[in-house]
Amino acid sequence: MQNFGSDRRQPARAGGLFVGLLALVAVLGMQGCATHSEGFRSIEQQAAIRNIPGAIKALDQFHATDLAKTDETLKYLNRGMLLRLQADYSKSNTEFDTAKSLIDKLEAISVAEQAGSALINEGVKAYTGDANEQLLLYGFKALNYLQLNDFDAAAVEARQFDIKQRLITEKYPEAKFISGAFVRYLNGMIYEAVGEPDSARIEFTKALEGYQSQSKFTNCGAPSALRADLARVEGKTPSRSKSSKRSRSKADSTPDATAALAEANGEVVFFLHNGLGPSLAENLIQVPNPVPGQGTSLLRIALPKFVERPLPVMRFELSSGGQSTNSEVAEDVNGLAKKSLEARLPGIQTRALVRLVAKNKLTADAKKRSEQAAKQNTGDLASMLRMSMGTIMDITATLTERADTRSWSLLPGNIQLARLALPPGTHDLKVSYYGVNGNLLSTREFKGVRVDAARKTFLSDYYL
């Protein structure tokens, strides 16, 4: 009787394990049906038609399936961006603050998670963003504060950005090319606005150097006003008063009379989120097995590849009354994202190869055990399970090898900037958006914009 009871339980346990393994394979198969970028399309579509509440609802539904919380940082980054596009700047910064806290927390435990990704795939790591995404987070937080007219809070973000960039450069040597030029330029304007000309000078100088360095791999040079900004703040810095006169001639700055007139005016600084930025897709390649005696001779590696999406706006014109100015590209988000991926790819490929060699050996060992089990087949579930292990391991290895296509998808493709000097008072502004063929796409009006003497007023819009 005792032996009979044991015999009944053994196939039952084996059957349960067999069903469990098949269920695991099924789950992995469902996870493999679509990459992160593909699943994000409906959110982007809602944002493009300016249905921000609908986009936020779709975003929350999208992240409700993230049971492991590996995409939690992305949820807050994208919620913060959607709320920014909705002009809900205070709530946007609340979401961005949560994202910043998560990034700091997750980066502290990333070493342990990296070991997990070496066994399964890159996507099991909790997302913390690439270097440029992390730096842009500080810029968008500062812009939110500027549009809330809280210049002191924006200055706090500027100081935190400086610390963050130094940490990134130390931690990720391959990211040294990411200068944060755009955020440096913005920080210079912030420091000048809060009466810190020396800090502004440092930021404008670093911004100019950064733009010059980035021009090798982006479609973005230094904005035309940057050199004049630098010359102006150098003139306000006592230790730089003599050199500032030489800088003016080199920077082609305005004559003193014109500069005095500019001080009497205020200025509207207008930013455009143009299109949608970094999107990644999966690229499957085959490479020779470095350990050919173990498993197959060729290994299939899934790597992320950069997909550049078309930008709708070539330029925009900002006008009020009889005065107007054209936009310039202040940040080529796409160009920086592409360069960032190129810098990370060697490490991604190396980790994928190590991972696949390990999976391949496990699969080969399982197949040998399956072959041995087939020779000793007794027809029960335990034998079926042993014979199926090789196949199950093979399927599992294939399904779990997916590229990590996550990115901060709601970043703009580029950021355009226009600056328009206006006399103090209340003004109605018109923004005209032009496409790649020079055709007028649309116009938007911003009525009752207050402009103060010797102050900047910050505005923004988006065109997806």
pLDDT (mean) for 217-237: 91
Of 118-122, 276-280, 422-426, give the range with the top mean pLDDT.
422-426
In this structure, are strands 440-451 and 425-434 parallel, antiparallel, or unpaired?
Answer: antiparallel
CA distance 110 to 125: 8
The answer to whether the CB of 420 falls within 8 A of the CB of 268 is yes
Separation in Å, CA 308 to CA 102, 296, 305, 329, 332:
28, 35, 10, 17, 12
CA distance 403 to 341: 13
What is the structure's pLDDT at 392?
52
Residue 453 DSSP SS3: coil
> Does residue 339 carry a pLDDT above 80?
yes
pLDDT (mean) for 316-338: 97
CA distance 342 to 337: 9
The 10s digit of each residue's pLDDT in 34-81 is 566 777 889 999 999 999 999 999 999 999 887 667 889 999 999 999
Is the model more confident about 352 or about 378? 352
The pLDDT confidence band at residue 355, using thresholds 50, 70 and 90, is confident
> Does residue 4 carry a pLDDT above 60?
no
Separation in Å, CA 390 to CA 245, 266, 302, 355, 424:
77, 73, 22, 18, 77
Overall pTM > 0.85: no
What is the structure's pLDDT at 385?
53
In CATH, 129-264 is 3.40.50.880: no
Q: Can you read off the two tokens belonging to residue 239? A: 């230790």
The 10s digit of each residue's pLDDT in 282-314 is 999 888 888 776 667 778 888 999 999 999 999
The pLDDT confidence band at residue 218, using thresholds 50, 70 and 90, is very high
Where do the domains of the chain lie?
Answer: 45-119, 129-264
Q: Can you read off the two tokens belonging to residue 246? A: 């030489």
Say which residues have a Cβ less than 8 Å from residue 307's Cβ, sequence separation at least 6.
37, 279, 280, 281
Nearest to 103 by CA among 81, 135, 65: 135
Residue 108's CB is within 10 A of a number of other CB atoms, namely 9
Backbone angles phi, psi at 163, to 5 degrees: -65, -45
Say which residues have a Cβ less than 8 Å from residue 348's Cβ, sequence separation at least 6.
122, 303, 304, 404
Task: Calculate the dihedral angle through the C-alpha atoms of 150, 152, 157, 162, rounding to the nearest 10 degrees.
Answer: 150
The 10s digit of each residue's pLDDT in 383-411 is 555 545 545 555 555 556 788 999 999 99
Of 64-68, 112-116, 446-450, give the range with the top mean pLDDT.
446-450
Say which residues have a Cβ less than 8 Å from residue 43's Cβ, sequence separation at least 6.
55, 58, 59, 62, 78, 409, 410
437 burial type by CB count under 10 A (0-12 exposed, 13-18 middle, 19+ buried): exposed
Q: Which DSSP state fits 378?
A: -
Q: Which of 114-118, 232-236, 249-253, 394-398 has the lowest mean pLDDT?
A: 249-253
The runs of H, that is alpha helices, within 321-426 are 333-375, 381-400
